[in-house]
Structure 1
Amino acid sequence: MPQLPHPTPGQLRRDPLPLRGRTALVTGASRRGGIGYAVARRLAAYGASVYLHHHVPHDDEMPWGGDRLEEVVAGVREVLGDPEAVVVDGPGDLSDPAVPAQLIETAAAALGGRLDILVANHALSGSDGQLHEIDAAMLDRHWAVDTRSVLLLVQAYARLRAALPEPAPGGRVVMMTSGQDQAGGMPHEIAYSLQKGALASATRTLATALGEHLVTVNTVNPGPVDTDYLTGEIYDAIADRFPAGRWGMPDDPARLIAWLATDEAEWITGNVIDSEGGFRR
């Protein structure tokens, strides 16, 4: 059926739960202070069933420490917009090349056999440095987690969508980058910025590859977000570089990502989108 130049009144009236009946996997959703948790809550509030991936050993090694997973899950369940939706969680070390495909399969099975939305939010923190400090091991660790695992997740997700009897609307992939292409770059995190830059560069290619399956692919740069990793004078100095006078909060990029998952964003694909609140670099 051809598209009309203007929507009908019925087409303009949207379900107040725009993701009702949809399913989503959000990786790296193990901390209530993180972006993944905020994204999962937004998707759940919009009506989606959500699978929360976590890798607690990584968080335990970081200065901020791990979180109580039962409270993470409870925090997502409390905002469920659709009483028939579910929230499920499960672990996975995505540095293992076998785990991405397993995770896609496990999440789809837990959510009723279908997976509509993939938000690859996870990343490796630490194990990095300036140009004179990095070594092959650092580069390999970041490649395995920040890039290879994301591509393998997208590959497994694409195979799942291709196996459907016919293309289904609502397919979404959202990846995360870090503003490494903005002014100044990230000279103190060479390995991380290289691998995140690779995802940004692959966005349009992946969007083209998945387009036939009615899947959009976009990458979000959330800008500086307060995920409990910085305090003190540096924190205040960065806040002053935002027109609003505050850091980005996890729900700031989460609102954008949740919108990209809705039907309202079905014409947006192959883009790297900055959500930086006017941050002055």
Structure 2
Amino acid sequence: MPRLPHPAPEDLRRDPLPLRGRTALVTGAARRGGIGHAVARRLAAHGAGVYLHHHVPHDEAMPWGADRPEEVAASVRDALGDPDAPVVHGPGDLADPSAPAELVARATAALGGRLDILVANHALSGSDGPLDAIHAALLDAHWAVDTRSVLLLVQAHARLRPPGPGGRIVMMTSGQDIAGGMPGEIAYALQKGALASITRSLATTLTGRGITVNTVNPGPVDTDYATGEAYEAVAARFPAGRWGMPDDPARLIAWLATDEAAWITGEVINSEGGFRR
């Protein structure tokens, strides 16, 4: 087999819009303080059309609350200075087993009949505890949202997207397999761990269709859920003396979506800023 030549000089020059003409679905993008919103901004800034998925009732039930979906979409457009940028939004309760395929189909249609990039950022928050506190219904709830829905999204994306280069899937995990684990969130850690474990198998399955599959552990990110002494204690464990911000993992995820990352697949990548566990 002949060796591939070095890239031509013009191929080494960075395109300011490396995702021009491509489209992306970002799940769990219901509020401007979250990672999903930051990812959408980065993908759109790279030229991609973006569909923002939200499940407002989930965030409304959390201490941090939810934003209006129109405001989240407008924020993505405003960051680009283009009020007509292709940014669409829509709801979906991914605990419903039929919702993932419906969401992918809806996003594909809204973005011109093609979906290239899937960022499965959503998760079930709260409703968890240590080993002695968990029960079957709690485990089932986390399984349905944190794991089953992600695999069904991946399945639907692979079925609808025509084979060819440029396909990208990024899943999210939470460092549950790093020193210390997550003993206070057993159900969440279990289901996120399943995504880390299946990453390589999905990558092997989809490489022939031109789709890379990677999982990102963003580490502790300031998405408005911690305050006071707990916030300061976590900040002190970063060499930089600050929490990760939503745009920190978003930059990595956006890069994984570009052609620069075409050779990266089957990986679980930690983006923790040197966090000391």
* TM-score normalised to structure 1 length: 0.96
What is the alpha-carbon distance in structure 2 between the residues aligned to residue 3 and residue 46 of structure 1?
31
Q: Which residue of 2 aligns with 1:212?
A: 208
What is the alpha-carbon distance in structure 2 between the residues aligned to residue 227 and residue 119 of structure 1?
18
Runs of 4+ in 1 over 2 A off after TM superposition: 1-5, 79-85
Q: Which residue of 2 aligns with 1:272?
A: 268
Helix, strand or coil at the partner of 2:132: coil
Q: Is the 8 A contact 1:53 1:91 kept in 2?
A: yes
Give how far 1:77 is off: 1.1
Q: Is the 8 A contact 1:44 1:81 kept in 2?
A: no
Q: Which residue of 2 aligns with 1:142?
A: 142
What is the alpha-carbon distance in structure 2 between the residues aligned to residue 82 and residue 18 of structure 1?
18
Q: How many residues align?
A: 277
Give how far 1:4 is off: 2.9
Helix, strand or coil at the partner of 1:15: coil
Residue identity in the other structure for 2:217 = N
Q: Percent identity?
A: 80
Helix, strand or coil at the partner of 1:53: strand
Residue identity in the other structure for 2:68 = R
Q: Which residue of 2 aligns with 1:189?
A: 185
Q: Is the 8 A contact 2:77 2:84 kept in 1?
A: no
Say if 1:48 and 1:82 are closer, same or farther in 2 by CA, change over 3 A.
Answer: farther
What is the alpha-carbon distance in structure 2 between the residues aligned to residue 153 and residue 134 of structure 1?
27
What is the alpha-carbon distance in structure 2 between the residues aligned to residue 64 and residue 215 of structure 1?
35
The 5 A counterparts of 1:242-257 are: 242-257=238-253
Q: Any idea what the Cα deviations from partners look like across 1:172-218, whole Å, max 9, x if unmatched?
A: 00000000001100000000000000000000000011101010000
The 5 A counterparts of 1:120-269 are: 120-161=120-161, 164=162, 167-269=163-265
Unaligned 5+ runs, structure 1: none
Q: Which residue of 1 aligns with 2:75?
A: 75
Unaligned 5+ runs, structure 2: none
What is the alpha-carbon distance in structure 1 between the residues aligned to residue 82 and residue 210 of structure 2?
24
What is the alpha-carbon distance in structure 2 between the residues aligned to residue 93 and residue 155 of structure 1?
17
What is the alpha-carbon distance in structure 1 between the residues aligned to residue 183 and residue 102 of structure 2?
35
Give how far 1:168 is off: 2.0
Q: Any idea what the Cα deviations from partners look like across 1:36-59, whole Å, max 9, x if unmatched?
A: 000000000110000000000000
Q: Any idea what the Cα deviations from partners look like across 1:207-239, whole Å, max 9, x if unmatched?
A: 011101010000000000000000001110110
Say if 1:82 and 1:155 are closer, same or farther in 2 by CA, change over 3 A.
Answer: farther
Give how far 1:2 is off: 6.6
Give how far 1:94 is off: 0.2
Q: Which residue of 2 aligns with 1:48?
A: 48
Say if 1:121 and 1:152 are closer, same or farther in 2 by CA, change over 3 A.
Answer: same
Residue identity in the other structure for 1:169 = P
What is the RMSD computed on CA atoms of the aligned residues?
A: 1.5
Residue identity in the other structure for 2:225 = Y
Q: Is the 8 A contact 1:25 1:118 kept in 2?
A: yes
* Range moving further from structure 2, 43-52 or 60-69: 60-69
Give how far 1:81 is off: 7.9
